[in-house]
Structure 1
Amino acid sequence: MGVRVRNSRDDVVARALAVLDAYGLGDLTMRRLGAELGVRPSALYHHFPDKQTLLGAVADEVLARGLGGAPATPPGDLPWDGVVLEACRRVRDALLAYRDGAELVATVRAFGLGGAAALEEVAAAVATGGFDDDLVATASRALLHLVLGHTGEEQTHLQAQSVGAIGGEPRPDSDFDAAVGLLVAGLRATTPGARADA
């Protein structure tokens, strides 16, 4: 008789996401997750060969919940640079929805184990500018690095303030849009023939 699996893969990912949001990425361990699910940590390996693969699935779930699956259809009334800004905002919002969301997605992307939806979202937006494929790929990666780094710093600062690790006044309004705008301006300058009203 086969061993009955108590939790589905989706159950494990959902609980891991709850642990991430409650305790942070550093405390998302197989031991803690097993305790949360009422199973031994070894039972989790039925669904995931290692912790890194689990983190990839959790990152993909963060992005699926925040982005809704496929890249957004670009609004017809926005120029290409507006479409890019909206895509970057969508990814940022998805990351900010969960504690350590930016660090999680950056980590699994470095491992090559998940987080593809973030790049797909940005690349689909950049492609609306009529750039060649190589430039779309390079620009999209650069924009995503900005989104991950900016959002990660923002999350770290907010969390440190919330637990009293640092004092001081809240930071002024984010310069996220302005930072994306600088990269977009560089992209526009690189290809003077890019469609300005796409």
Structure 2
Amino acid sequence: MTARDPNPPSRGLRRTKDDVVDAALSVLDRVGLPDLSMRRLAEDLGVQPSALYWHVASKQELLAAVSARILAPVALRPGDPTDLGRAAVTLGHRLHDRLLAHRDGAEVVSSSLALGLVDSPVHDALRTVEDSPAARVVADAVTHYVVGVTFHEQQRRSADVWGTAASEVSLTASSVDSTDDGGFAAALALIAAGIAAWQESVGRPLDA
């Protein structure tokens, strides 16, 4: 009897980088970031782990591509507000929704942003509203707030699954069904109000 090859060749399927990113997002949603390994991803794709490196040089580059995919829909659309404050709020909500759409999405994106491997779509979108140092400060504020608060939100959800969350933040049936967003919308509105107050003032520029 012929021994089974523990490292069989790939099944002849030609994979693209899009296929790899699609599969990575699927694995991320199923098992979370800690268990998203190149080996597990290769098993899902039916290839050898070494085949993945034709498309990405490292796991961090893979996560950057995943981050870019998560962030891609965050943009201003026809009919959206055209003033800096309301546009920033619109983008903040869309960024929040995209990060929540994927398990550990905020952690993945946060790492890629911190390492400069992906750009914040909030910056690109607000640049179409106002290309100024002030708009960049606003984009920074919205990006850091939304990514940070969503990261904490997803950590609490994971902790609740494992039963390690404090009782005051653990999820209940009523809290899941509640429309209260824990102050998220109010905080974005506060940012917008600060932008409007600055724009109306004649004092020191926001970016001075």
Structure 2 residue matching 1:46: 3-state secondary structure? coil
Q: Structure 1's 148 and 138: CA in aligned 2 closer, same or farther, altered over 3 A?
A: same
Distance in 2 separating the partners of 1:138 and 1:174: 25
Aligned partners of 1:118, 1:100: CA distance in 2, in Å?
20
**Where does the alignment leave 5 or more consecutive residues of structure 1 unmatched?**
none
**C-alpha RMSD over aligned residues:** 2.6
Higher-helix-fraction structure: 1
2:41 is aligned with 1:33 = yes
| Alignment partners' CA distance in 2, 1:163 and 1:101 | 19
Does the C-alpha gap of structure 1 residues 119 and 159 become closer, same or farther in structure 2, counting only changes over 3 Å?
A: farther
2:106–2:150: 8 Å Cα contact kept in structure 1?
A: yes
> TM-score, with normalisation over the residues of structure 1?
0.80
The alpha carbon displacement at 1:24 in A equals 1.1
Between the two structures, name the one with larger relative contact order (CA 8 Å, sep ≥ 6).
Answer: 1
Kindly state the Cα deviation for residue 120 of structure 1 after the two structures are TM-superposed.
Answer: 2.4
- The letter of the residue matching 1:137 is R
What does 1:103-182 correspond to in 2, within 5 Å? 103-121=107-125, 123-124=126-127, 128=129, 133-166=132-165, 168=167, 169-170=170-171, 173-182=181-190
Question: How many residue pairs are counted as aligned between the two chains?
Answer: 183
Q: Distance in 2 between matches of 1:21 and 1:73?
A: 31
Residues 163 and 116 of structure 1, relative CA distance in 2, 3 Å threshold:
same
Q: 1:15: which partner in 2? A: 23
SS of 2:200's equivalent in the other structure is coil
Greater Rg by CA: 2
**1:75 paired residue among 80, 94, 109:** 80
Aligned-pair distance for 1:79? 5.8
Task: State the Cα deviation string for residues 80-104 of structure 1 (Å, max 9, x = none).
Answer: 5333212110110011000011111
